[in-house]
Chains A and B, each alone.
Chain A
Amino acid sequence: MYTQGLDSLGKDCLRDEAQDGARLESRFQARVDAEEKIEAKDWMPEAYRRTLVRQISQHAHSEIVGMLPEGNWITRAPSLLRKTILIAKVQDEGGHGAYLYSAAETLGVSRGELVDQLLTGKAKYSSIFNYPTPTWADVGAIGWLVDGAAIMNQIPLCRCSYGPYARAMVRICKEESFHQRQGYDIMLRLARGTAAQRDMAQAALDRWWWPSLMMFGPSDHDSKHSAQSMRWKIKRFSNDELRQKFVDTTVPQADFLGLKVPDPELAWDEAGQHYRFGPIDWREFEQVLAGQGPCNRERLDARRRAHDEGRWVREAATAWAEKRNAEAAKAA
């Protein structure tokens, strides 16, 4: 009798919990639909939290790994001004990583866990950073195209339903504009330079064009997270919409440079008022994502080395703070 009683009690509790969950979830969706921001301590569906942790931390990792291809050119920048600009840009990328890790941490993950996920290769980062930067023009192409594509992706994220992420993105977008313009400025100087410099600029465009288009992610019908993210207003535009917008704004910029976009099928569609472009090689995208890109190994090795070689600095800083705290406590 007792067990029966307990059983039914248990079932009632379960049902209540399920009803509660459904009620909370519909209230949550109503808030999102009303364009209210969700804050760290607000109730949110577990899947929303998981999606955000994944997306924000991948974004943070991308900023951190993104320092590497350009950092490669700091010691060889062609002038002192270019060097100081590049240092400032790479420092910004580190800053963006820090803003984003902080935003992810509001969702209940620790910085240590996130760094671990990157260093063990468990977490993904943007596959664009697995391409090499063999010439100075690549630094220009990254600023112009990669940061340009990032801006296209990131501006709608400033209105993302999750407050801490949206606010971090506002800050980031303000700084990205400098990145894109300094990149275009490098390309402009090369395009107006000697024949060899023009060739260098063209070769960089050839290298970065298609990977930049891939940055927007799989085509809409192959994108597995898109629909739910749209419903949650984490995402505002589809991958294909943003990619088209990027092509439409970037092609005239390439024309102005007198450089040729490496796509024989690229053509202006007067009726649709868009550029039509050729098919993207998604096999390449999948391969780079799966770790087979030209620099995947090198990038992760560099991050691990930096982390290991920085350990004594972190330990010294901790020891120093402890000593000072102890001294302060004694003096008090």
Chain B
Amino acid sequence: MNNEHDWPLYEIFIRAKSGLDHKHVGSLHATDARMALEHARDLYTRRQEGVSIWAVRSTDIVASDPAESDAFFEPARDKVYRHPTFYDIPDEVKTL
């Protein structure tokens, strides 16, 4: 019945207000970047949820592999000394 191809998929990122990061909100199909932005506006900011939109072709995203995530993030696991709470500072010492 439907022999049309899906339009490319875009991942949508929205900056909720000035000063904040863009955050992933979901995805949508569009013929091109401009349509992706216009559809993202209609789909994700109907209630003024954003002041800026990024649209990225889903196929252009490079992602780490969840099956490898244990090994991939392992190097940071034994480096507790990178956190300030690792160090015991005597109470007498202020503003440190």
Q: Is the interface of A mostly helix, strand, loop or mixed?
A: helix
Q: Does A253 contact B (CB under 8 A)?
A: no
Q: B28 to chain A: which residues have CB within 8 Å?
A: 98, 102
Q: Which of A11-52 contact B (CB under 8 A)?
A: 39, 41-43
Q: Does B80 contact A (CB under 8 A)?
A: no
Q: A105 to chain B: which residues have CB within 8 Å?
A: 9, 27
Complex CA gap A60/B4 in Å reads 20
Q: B26 to chain A: which residues have CB within 8 Å?
A: 99, 102-103, 167-168, 171
What sequence of 0s and 1s flags, for each residue 298-318 of chain A, a beta carbon within 8 Å of any chain B beta carbon? 000000000100010010011
Looking at A42, A112, A167, A318, the one whose CB has the most chain B CB atoms below 10 A away is A112
Q: Are B65 and A318 in contact (CB under 8 A)?
A: no
Which residue on B lies nearest to A40, using beta carbons?
A: B66
The one of B2, B35, B46, B63 that contacts A116, using a Cβ cutoff of 8 Å: B2
Knowing A41-B65, A95-B46, A111-B6, the reply to whether A324 touches B1 (Cβ < 8 A) is no
A interface residue numbers (CB < 8 A to B): 39, 41-43, 88, 91-92, 95, 98-99, 102-103, 105, 110-112, 115-116, 119-120, 167-168, 171, 175, 307, 311, 314, 317-318, 320-321, 324-325
Which residue on B lies nearest to A178, using beta carbons?
A: B47
Complex CA gap A115/B42 in Å reads 21
The one of B1, B4, B9, B67 that contacts A314, using a Cβ cutoff of 8 Å: B4
Q: A103 to chain B: which residues have CB within 8 Å?
A: 26
The one of A91, A120, A175, A321 that contacts B1, using a Cβ cutoff of 8 Å: A120
Knowing A95-B46, A105-B9, the reply to whether A321 touches B35 (Cβ < 8 A) is yes
Q: How far is the CB of B52 from chain A (nearest CB, A)?
A: 18
A-B contact count (CB 8 A): 55
Q: B2 to chain A: which residues have CB within 8 Å?
A: 112, 115-116, 119, 307
Known contacts A98-B43, A314-B4, A317-B7; 13 further A-B pairs (Cβ under 8 A): A39-B66, A42-B66, A91-B46, A98-B28, A105-B9, A111-B6, A112-B5, A116-B1, A171-B26, A175-B47, A311-B4, A318-B31, A321-B32
Complex CA gap A88/B46 in Å reads 9
Number of B residues whose C-beta is below 8 Å from A?
A: 23
Complex CA gap A39/B69 in Å reads 13
Q: How far is the CB of A117 from chain B (nearest CB, A)?
A: 10
Which residue on A lies nearest to B29, using beta carbons?
A: A111
Which residue on B lies nearest to A103, using beta carbons?
A: B26
Q: Are B35 and A92 in contact (CB under 8 A)?
A: no
Complex CA gap A39/B66 in Å reads 9
Q: A95 to chain B: which residues have CB within 8 Å?
A: 42-43, 46
Q: A115 to chain B: which residues have CB within 8 Å?
A: 2
Q: Which of B54-92 contact A (CB under 8 A)?
A: 63, 65-67
Which residue on B lies nearest to A320, using beta carbons?
A: B31
Q: How far is the CB of A222 from chain B (nearest CB, A)?
A: 33
Which residue on B lies nearest to A39, using beta carbons?
A: B66
Q: Are A92 and B31 in contact (CB under 8 A)?
A: no
The one of A41, A111, A171, A325 that contacts B32, using a Cβ cutoff of 8 Å: A325
Q: How far is the CB of A241 from chain B (nearest CB, A)?
A: 30
Q: A171 to chain B: which residues have CB within 8 Å?
A: 25-26
Knowing A102-B26, A112-B2, A112-B6, the reply to whether A317 touches B66 (Cβ < 8 A) is no
Q: B27 to chain A: which residues have CB within 8 Å?
A: 102, 105
Complex CA gap A230/B63 in Å reads 31
Complex CA gap A325/B30 in Å reads 14
